[in-house]
Structure 1
């Protein structure tokens, strides 16, 4: 029986938990003895339940299990967010896990206990019980941490490329990413705010003018980066790899290896396309601003070397792009780096276009450190010809 039944929905009962436990452990003799539920509300209003279950197994005795039961994402249903997330955990994770074993890499996802498509529910192992945590969103990753995560990104991309090589339709439904043609393009309004800020800086009039010229084309240019180019190397992208979707374990860390392992969660934006989508998003939103953008080239090369290594270990049969080709694919999408760093990441919690929100956006750039970072990013992307 449940120990705090008043706060628990009717469907979260012994039968539901037994079904998931039996599915995961492949044992129909499992019986739930009791369970405890803590309720939390995740981003976008989804309900998330942390469940501790005591269950009995014939000839073994009583065991405990820690679970997360969550509603699949309800955001942007026109982008198939919830169905993608459910299908990823239900159909794709097991295939990834087989390939992870082939290259000797540790777990990359939570354990999947089951999904309920009728109620849009996903039951996963509770990673916090295994020592994983989500680091604060305002804490950027240092270089050693970033490289550890980029290696995990490389194996994620490499495995997806091999899976698609084995089954051309496996990711056919993963069409819509963060800035694809079907999404809300509020970041275009943020460009006007940034341009207004930049126009007031001494000696930056030329850059403000270049940003103004982007007004009529930035949405289409962003769309083009998400359009799949069949002549490029393509993979499944997570498309939201930032601190809130990265659970890290640091128990056995060292200064040079501060993260023991990283697990990815939250696949509602996942889409097929160039892996440089994930690179631009992660580098421009999640590493410490002290390393942006001057360490980008080093980090992209680090990622590429691990990507190639994993593809070779997995016996990828298609052609692997050489470094200069991959580098060109990355730089062809530099507009994404600018959008993510200057127009999306600073305003993630400001999503409505009215005078109050516009003032909040302008106020964000009153901070001197924030302005200094914006100057560096604009100069960097201008030198690469991004605004021309």
Structure 2
């Protein structure tokens, strides 16, 4: 649905507006400041939703096409993306406020990402890693970004998963973010001290306990009901594991002297990446990628991002055949970037890095059982309330997620592997 607004009207009905404060005057003041032109006047606005139901769980994201005129330009158009908190959704706000996701993301775009960009530029690492925030409104929990679609960036199909080409460029970008953040932390050891200990698993709040526990329980039920008798042994082990699920997850996220700790994206998957393409000989090639949405970024082992990305974003073919190739490629970019950035700390050897990745395999197991079913969900019934709720409707929606044949096939393939790795028998004190 697209909403057209004629700004010449005195009384405007903002049916699909991102927030009650996002008015013509609000945007006009922002554009005047951004363009440094006090004569700028907005003539037309066109709002449209960026994401469909089930695509985004972290806020209201709206695209605005703004036609304006000024003494400097007779008439021009700018496309922006407006991201706001769930203004009228108390259920979502109650959960996400405990994670401080809106305030934290605004601080990241205001303070952290510009510093990372400066470090990379100083090291002559010329790479477009994330879009620019044109305006950050801390009072109204609102961010306005350049619309990367106007630069021919677009998201990949969420349901298809990322092939090797998409995966490779994505982890190249991720490696440079991790490296630059490690140097930033080295130069300013307190910069990530406050507010960056809250990822999906955290010791600061229990607000996501129901989310993880209820979906994990639905996964166990699916194994019993749909996967066949030979898989019941895994369901029984998962039942025994269940009481320690949250603590094991927290142990994965805890910064550790044995790990390489840095600022991580925290939620890197198809919907939080945008790609640019070139076409030749009937083939579309990925030429660039950019990271978006830093709501769950935190200070944790760098391999947390890799475990998440590999187990939620990749096609099954790539995940099964190319995981070690991608790990080695990440390591090469990561270690090379640290050297160019003049990182003074210890850069882990390749085998140390790989061991660190394996030490966080339990998080990969969690992502496979809990996050991937959401990512591959095709039912419009599964929204924020469904995945976070505990009522009967929410329980039925979660069961519906696991009826997905792809999810069941993935569980059949990966559960025996997870079990052979000892992940279904893991004790809390074994994660270091």
TM-score between the two structures when normalised by the length of structure 1: 0.89
Residue 78 in structure 1 maps to residue 76 in structure 2 = no
User: What CA RMSD, in Å, does the superposition of the two structures yield over aligned residues?
Assistant: 2.8
* Alignment partners' CA distance in 2, 1:51 and 1:178: 34
- Greater CA drift, 375-384 or 205-214: 205-214
2:356 to 314, 324, 329: 329
Residue 136 of structure 1: CA displacement?
2.3
Q: Is the 8 A contact 2:156 2:162 kept in 1?
A: no
Unaligned runs of 5+ in 1: none
Aligned to 1:117: 138
- Correspondence for 2:111: 91
1:184 aligns with 2:211: no
Contact 1:252–1:260 (Cα < 8 Å) also in 2: no
User: How much has 1:270 moved relative to structure 2?
Assistant: 0.9
CA separation in 2, counterparts of 1:371 and 1:226? Answer: 27
Give the 3-state SS of the residue equivalent to 1:328 in structure 2: helix
Show the counterpart of 2:275. 248
Give the 3 Å change call, closer, same or farther, for CA 77–341 of structure 1 in structure 2. same
Q: Find the counterpart in structure 2 of residue 379 from structure 1.
A: 416
Structure 1 residue 219 corresponds to structure 2 residue 224:
no
Matched residues in 1 for 2:237 and 2:20: separation?
57
Deviations 1:331-353 (A, max 9, x none): 12111101111122214634233
**Unmatched 5+ stretches in structure 2:** 1-5, 87-92, 376-381, 426-432
Q: How does 1:12-51 map to 2 (within 5 A)?
A: 12-13=22-23, 15-25=25-35, 27-29=36-38, 31-40=40-49, 43-44=56-57, 46=60, 48-51=62-65
The one of 283, 292, 296 equivalent to 2:319 is: 292
2 CA distance for matches of 1:10 and 1:376? Answer: 48
Q: Distance in 1 between matches of 2:76 and 2:419?
A: 59
Is the partner of 2:366 in helix, strand or coil? helix
| Alpha-carbon distance in 1 for matches of 2:243, 2:109 | 39
Q: Which stretch of structure 1 is more off in the superposition, 101-110 or 10-19?
A: 10-19
Question: Offset of 1:187 from its aligned partner?
Answer: 2.1
Does structure 2 conserve the Cα–Cα contact (< 8 Å) formed by 1:85 and 1:268?
A: yes
Q: State whether residues 277 and 284 of structure 2, in contact with CA within 8 Å, keep that contact through their aligned partners in structure 1.
A: no
State the Cα deviation string for residues 227-259 of structure 1 (Å, max 9, x = none). 122442111111111111111111357999832
* Offset, 1:224: 0.7
How far off is 1:302 after superposition?
Answer: 1.7
Check if 1:302 corresponds to 2:329: yes
Structure 1 pair 292–156 and aligned structure 2 pair: CA distance change class (3 A): same
**Alpha-carbon separation, structure 2, partners of 1:23 and 1:259:** 35
Which residue, 303, 308, 316 being the options, matches 1:281? 308
- Aligned residue for 1:216, secondary structure, equals helix
Change in CA separation of 1:105 and 1:252 when aligned onto 2, cut-off 3 Å: farther
Q: Distance in 2 between matches of 1:207 and 1:33?
A: 60
Residue 326 of structure 2 aligns to a residue whose secondary structure is: helix
Query: Residue 197 of structure 1 is aligned with which of 222, 226, 237?
Result: 222
Provide TM-score, normalisation by structure 2.
Answer: 0.80
Deviates more, 1:363-372 or 1:181-190: 363-372
Question: C-alpha displacement at 1:6, in angstroms?
Answer: 3.2
Q: What is the aligned partner in structure 2 of residue 2 from structure 1?
A: 7
Deviation of 1:314 after TM superposition, in Å, equals: 1.2
